[in-house]
Structure 1
Amino acid sequence: MKHLTILIPDKQMAFNTFACVIGAYDIFKRADQFWQEKGKKQLFKKMELAGESGLSAIHHGLLTIKPEVNINAIEQTDLIIIPAISHNFQQPTVNNTALIDWLVAQYKNGAEIASMCTGALILASTGLLDGKNCSIHWNAADYLKRRFPKVIVKPDQLITDEHGIYTNGGGYSFLNLLLYLIEKYYDRETAIYCAKIFQIEIDRQRQSAFTIFKGQRLHGDEVVEKAQDYLEDHFQEKISIEELSQRLAVGRRSFDRRFIKATGNTPIEYLQRVKIESAKKAFETTRKNINEVMYEVGYADEKAFREVFRKITGMSPLDYKKKYNKEMVIE
């Protein structure tokens, strides 16, 4: 039988921390119950909430949670779940140093580790994510890239699975990670059962459709910032990146290099994301058809527009409009 540890961070707790902890505990308990009802032996002998301190709280004690056991009392565990932490990302390791050392030791001893949303910041602090793929809430992806440059950030992916380390995107998509783990540790039938009981959409792969593109602006490169301003103000027009680099008095190759370093995108990719973000808003809030929106954001080729839209969002323009515009009329 196995041992499950759900971590309670000592600091940087947030409302979503509680959601992750309670959700993980509840769903794994229900999975184990279903597993035994099928006549199989209990899979997880112990499911424990573990932390460094006796009590963790948010908002001056509005919500509190008490770990059942100190992490130092757990010599060996099989699966560790790190919940999301506060969106104050400045120092995810503060007051969690013992926790980080413990995570590294447990992983080396054979434990698997799964992080939910911003819990990836704690996991990245261990160094265990260096050179590995990592998913995190799209709104925290840029921070993770800057703070932990050795981590391969995959903001479009909902779940990553690499060498016994799992990560997932943000918000309540931790529920999808839980179903993924349930299927991996139990079986497909148990995962489907939990999906039905808790009414979670199973097998969701991407968070692209939920991303709100906000160009990376905290890079300190004034030339790139001027370029971003221009692209965002003139995206409906026909823009030549070559002419833009000349306008800013920077050679094209140097311009591309600086732009990628600052934003994580090539200038063309950045322009595409700006166009598609505008198209998404139009589909969400207006009755304009696909072609009207396409021309409005500066595309003349319908095939190219559809391909770029699907590449960025994971959905076709029509499917996106159906999903997010309740006044959608089939076109």
Structure 2
Amino acid sequence: MAKIILWVENGCLFSSVTTLIDAFSIAELWHQAVVDKTSPPLFDTRIVSTTGSRVTARGGIKVTPDGAVTDIESADCIVISPIIPRLDPLPGEMDTLTRWVKALKGKGSIIATVCTGTFILAHMGILDGRRATTNWQYAGLFKKMFPKVILEHEYMITEDDGIICTGAATAVYHLAMHLIKTFGSRKLAAGCSKALLIDPNRSSQEPYMIATPVKNHGDREVLKAQHLMESNFARIGSVDHIAREVGISPRHFKRRFKKATGEMPLKYLQRIRIEVAKEKLETTRDTIDEITWAVGYQDISSFCRLFKQYTDLSPKAYRDTFFNPVLWA
């Protein structure tokens, strides 16, 4: 029986805990009904806080833990619940939590986290030099705060040296299936995926990402260039044209733009066009050819390749996933 310890803290997103517990419960029922009615339980889940005290999760949910972290000397897996960066402070008794996590990892426990819980593991230093993912909306902040971590935020789930990280909120289901496969079987995880309507092939966060351009950089000419791109994206023939419009030499413009926004101007323009194309695929019945021309491209094949590069899906697959005919009838 796998011993799964679920750590909670004031302000944590408690849905990650309940989702895992529910998934494990369904796995137990599925295992007994389909595989072996007489088998012992597969999972033993316990909720702990750092000190054992009651905590208040997001939404005012009161959580009474089963104990403190120091009560747990061994576990098959520890799951760190997420907090919201910038809004929530680091957990209290961080040193105690860090020592506990490192001690159990040294004993062979799997360390897992959900969504922005990656920030907590990174503060502990255990992600330095290792691959990780997190909620894509906080990827920029994470990279600035923890440059030693190899952040691959395009992935839904990563695993490196016994440390598992997941992407945004519902990626917790992928963690659940991963742990059911690890402590149960591949067949059981496949059955649970079907029972819970989880797509096991959804491995990327890229189709869900929304571009959030940096504009608080204080460079007036670069900001003017951004506005020009956003209002004339379909008619812009080259980045050099934008540079001339804002009165900067093309070479200097590219360096300045990258310094201010974190992106080269061509990539920024491409991202604007892809975002507009995504919206049209989601909300209109325009053909892919029409959308290609509307966002400033003439070659359909080149546009489709670029679209997949940014979203991990072809335009057709993206529309199949995100277009809702009921909403846009």
**What stretches of structure 1 of length at least 5 have no aligned partner?**
none
SS at 1:276 equivalent: helix
- Asked whether the equivalents of residues 4 and 44 of structure 1 are also in contact (C-alpha less than 8 Å), the reply is no
- What is the aligned-residue identity percentage? 31
Residue 311 of structure 2: aligned partner: 313
- CA 1:110–1:263 in 2, change beyond 3 Å: closer, same or farther? farther
SS at 2:14 equivalent: helix
The residue correspondences of 1:62-211 to structure 2 (distance < 5 A) are 62-86=60-84, 88-89=86-87, 91-93=89-91, 96-211=94-209
Residue 3 of structure 1: aligned partner: 3
Residue 297 of structure 2: aligned partner: 299
- Asked whether the equivalents of residues 112 and 165 of structure 1 are also in contact (C-alpha less than 8 Å), the reply is yes
SS at 1:81 equivalent: strand
Q: Quick one: distance in 2 between partners of 1:119 and 1:252?
A: 42
TM-score, normalising length from structure 1? 0.86
How big is each residue's C-alpha offset from its partner over 1:56-88, in whole Å with a ceiling of 9 and x where there is no partner?
1146x8311111110011112221112222354
Q: Aligned-residue CA RMSD in angstroms? A: 2.8
SS at 1:47 equivalent: strand
- Asked whether the equivalents of residues 4 and 46 of structure 2 are also in contact (C-alpha less than 8 Å), the reply is yes
Task: Report the AA paired with residue 31 of structure 1.
Answer: A
Q: Determine which of 42, 47, 50 is the counterpart of 1:52.
A: 50
Q: Quick one: distance in 2 between partners of 1:18 and 1:99?
A: 18
- CA 1:97–1:257 in 2, change beyond 3 Å: closer, same or farther? farther
1:225, distance to aligned residue in structure 2 (A): 4.0
Task: Report the AA paired with residue 106 of structure 1.
Answer: L
How big is each residue's C-alpha offset from its partner over 1:162-185, in whole Å with a ceiling of 9 and x where there is no partner?
111111111212112211222233
Aligned length: 323
- Asked whether the equivalents of residues 42 and 184 of structure 2 are also in contact (C-alpha less than 8 Å), the reply is no
How big is each residue's C-alpha offset from its partner over 1:11-60, in whole Å with a ceiling of 9 and x where there is no partner?
332xxx2211011122223334544663486575632111124111146x
- CA 1:55–1:90 in 2, change beyond 3 Å: closer, same or farther? closer
- Asked whether the equivalents of residues 115 and 167 of structure 1 are also in contact (C-alpha less than 8 Å), the reply is yes
Residue 234 of structure 1: aligned partner: 232
How big is each residue's C-alpha offset from its partner over 1:216-272, in whole Å with a ceiling of 9 and x where there is no partner?
345566555444333323322224234545665666666545544554433222221
- CA 1:82–1:236 in 2, change beyond 3 Å: closer, same or farther? same
- Asked whether the equivalents of residues 7 and 83 of structure 1 are also in contact (C-alpha less than 8 Å), the reply is yes
Q: Quick one: distance in 2 between partners of 1:57 and 1:47?
A: 20
TM-score, normalising length from structure 2? 0.86
Deviates more, 1:50-59 or 1:63-72: 50-59
How big is each residue's C-alpha offset from its partner over 1:94-143, in whole Å with a ceiling of 9 and x where there is no partner?
55442233222322332211111111111111111222222222211112
